[in-house]
Amino acid sequence: MRTHSSKKLLPWKPSWWAIAHLTMGMLISCAPVKFDRMDDVRLCSSANVCGQAVRDPSTGEIVKVHMPDEIVISGGGKVDILLVNDNSPSMSKDQASLQAKFSQFFSILDRRYVDYQVGMTTTDIQSDSNVPRSINQNGALQNGNLIAYGNGASVLKNSDSDRVSLFLGQIARKETTDCEAWLKSVADQGVSSTSTYALQNYNTYCPSGDERGILAASMALDHNVNTGLFRSGTESAKHIILLTDEDNRSIGVTKDPNNPKASDAIALEDQDLPSTLISKFKSSFGSDVKLMIHVIGVKPGDSACQAEQAAQMQGATGTPATSYIQGATATGGSVNSICASDFSATISNIANSVVANLPPHQLQCSQPTNVSVVSADGSFNVTSKDYTLQGNTIHFSTRIPYGTKLKINYDCDPFK
C-alpha cells in the first residue's frame, strides 16, 4: 500500500483543502480537472465530478476514490459524416440510386444510438474557367461549401426530426439534371458535345466537369470553423463518402509520360492527393483522429461497369476511381460499386463501417483501477474478452450487441 504521510486526510480534517492534481479524460471535454474539495464523504472537483472517498481503516488516510457507475450504450458514439456528391453531368441516375436507399443509412445509425452530424458538398472547384455563376448558385455549390438544406442549415444532427427528408432532398442535384437536359437537347439537334457551340455554352448550363472530390473535402474542412461539421479533436470519428462515376479529375493521374491517357488528363496537384487530405485531418484533429474515406465508384478492372457509366449520356466516360480508392485503402474505408443494381448493400456496408469504428469510452481519471464492466440489465454476459483498458480508455469488442446498456465501475487514485 502506498502512503503519503505529508498528505494524510483524517476524518476530523476541515471540509475544504487542496490535494494533488488528477488529470481526467472527460466524456465531452478534454480539459483537465482536479479533486479540490471534500463534500461530506466525497471528493469533488470544481466541475462537480465527485467520487466516494475510501480510507485506510487503520490510518484514516484516503487511499482511493470510488467513482459512481457510468452507463454507456454499446454502439453509441459521435460520428461526423461528409458526402462529397459528384454533381457533374452523367450523375443523375447514380444520385437517384443513392437517394432511393440512403434513408436506411440513418436507420442503422439511429438503431445503434449514434450521435451523428451530416453535411454534403459537391466536387465542383472554382478556377479561371469555372467561375461562380447561376448554375452553381454563384459559388455556393463550389469549393467545399456545404449545401444548404430546406431548413436553411448546412449541418443536420441526429436530433433534427426532419433530418432524413432534408438530406435526401439534396442528393439528387438540380444542376446535374438541368445540364444533362441541355446536353441531350444539343445531341437531339445533331450537334456534338465537343462542338464549338457546345463548348462555348457549356458553362452557362452545366457545373464543372473537372471533378475534384479530395480537394472539395479538404476545402470543407477549411470551412469547419464556420460550419462545425467536424467536431474537435478525437471527440468524434470522421467519415467522408465519395459518390462519383469518374476518378479524381476524371482520370486521376499525375503527369506521367508513360501513361497512355496522361495527355487527356488534368494533372493532380498535391491538394488532390488522398495522402494530403489525410495529413490535413491529422494536423487539424490530432494524429489519433479516426478518419475513414468510403468510395462509391467504378472499381478498377470492372469494364462492364465502366461501359455502363459511359453509356449514360453522350460524352460520358466513366473511369475507375483509382486515386479515391487509395484514400479508402489508407484509412480502412469501404469501396463500393456505383453500378450496383440496388444500393441497399452499399449503404449497409458504409453504415456498418461507421458504427463499427466509434470512439472508445474515456473514464474520469488518468489511471483507473478495479475496472469492471457488466450489462446494466443483465441482458448480456460481459466477460474480460469483451473490453480492454488502455490508460483511461475502454475499448469494446464487436461481440457486444448494439444497444446493450453497460455499467462501468472503477476507482481513481487521488494522488495521480
* Domain shared by 204 and 145, yes or no: yes
Grid cell, residue 305, equals: 461497369
Of 377 and 35, the structure prediction assigns the larger pLDDT to 377
* Domain shared by 158 and 36, yes or no: no
CB-based burial label for 41 (10 Å; 0-12, 13-18, 19+): exposed
* Domain shared by 239 and 119, yes or no: yes
* Domain shared by 270 and 389, yes or no: no
The phi and psi torsions of 310 (rounded to 5 degrees) equal -65, -25
pLDDT digits (tens, 9 = 90+) for 337-375: 999 999 999 999 999 888 876 567 889 888 899 999 999
* Domain shared by 273 and 384, yes or no: no
CB-based contacts of 107: which residues, under 8 Å, 6+ apart?
A: none
Of 339 and 416, the structure prediction assigns the larger pLDDT to 339
* Domain shared by 256 and 110, yes or no: yes
Kindly list the distances between the CA atom of residue 105 and the CA atoms of 99, 114, 355, in Å, as whole numbers in the listed order. 11, 11, 11
* Domain shared by 208 and 237, yes or no: yes
3-state secondary structure of 381: coil
Kindly list the distances between the CA atom of residue 121 and the CA atoms of 84, 93, 98, 148, 347, in Å, as whole numbers in the listed order. 5, 18, 15, 9, 18
pLDDT at 243 over 80: yes
Structural domain total, the chain: 2
Q: What is the pLDDT of residue 120?
A: 98
**Cβ atoms 43, 414 nearer than 8 A:** yes
CATH code, domain carrying 175:
3.40.50.410
Q: What is the pLDDT of residue 23?
A: 28
* Domain shared by 338 and 305, yes or no: yes
Please say whether the dihedral angle defined by the alpha carbons of residues 176, 177, 181 and 184, taken in this order, is positive or negative.
Answer: positive
Domain assignment of residue 267, given as a range: 77-355
User: What is this structure's pTM?
Assistant: 0.74
Quote the radius of gyration of the chain (alpha carbons, Å).
27
335, 355, 375: which is the final residue of a domain?
355
Determine which of 16-25, 65-74, 251-260, 372-381 has the lowest per-residue pLDDT on average. 16-25
Q: Rounded to an integer, what distance in angstroms lies between the CA atom of residue 152 and that of residue 225?
A: 18
* Domain shared by 369 and 344, yes or no: no
Of 19 and 338, the structure prediction assigns the larger pLDDT to 338
Mean pLDDT of 60-69: 88
331, 355, 379: which is the final residue of a domain?
355
Grid cell, residue 299, equals: 472499381
* Domain shared by 257 and 124, yes or no: yes
Listed residue (121, 156, 154) closest to 139, CA to CA: 121
pLDDT digits (tens, 9 = 90+) for 301-350: 999 999 999 888 877 778 899 999 999 999 999 999 999 999 999 999 99
**Cβ atoms 268, 323 nearer than 8 A:** yes
* Domain shared by 258 and 177, yes or no: yes
**Cβ atoms 337, 325 nearer than 8 A:** no
306, 335, 355: which is the final residue of a domain?
355
**Cβ atoms 248, 266 nearer than 8 A:** no
**First-last CA distance in the chain:** 15
Q: Give the length of the chain.
A: 416
* Domain shared by 18 and 147, yes or no: no
